[in-house]
Amino acid sequence: MIEQDLIKVRIIGGNDSPESSKYLEDIRTTLNGIDNNTNMINIIGLDACKNIHPNSFELDGYHGGVRALDCRILN
């Protein structure tokens, strides 16, 4: 588990490999970088509305990636 201030990230399942640790660190870094001036992190589902919300981001467990979604490409 990674904990920083109010952000806690825990992986369930899988193994304690360097890849898993990197994946968790990427998630923590991404969440820590989100600033919407409310002191709160909004995790917005990709299917929350017809158009993808501009503050959405994707956690890709299969490929181990964390990325912001570029709505200009997806819309």
Residue-level pLDDT at 71: 43
Supply the pTM of this predicted model: 0.37
The chain-wide mean pLDDT, for the chain, equals 58
Higher pLDDT, 27 or 6: 27
Q: Long-range pairs for 12-19 at CB < 8 Å and ≥24 separation? A: 19/64
CB neighbour class for 57 (10 Å; exposed up to 12, middle 13-18, buried from 19): middle
Higher pLDDT, 15 or 67: 15
Tell me the pLDDT tens digit for each residue of 11-43.
666 667 787 777 777 777 776 666 556 555 555
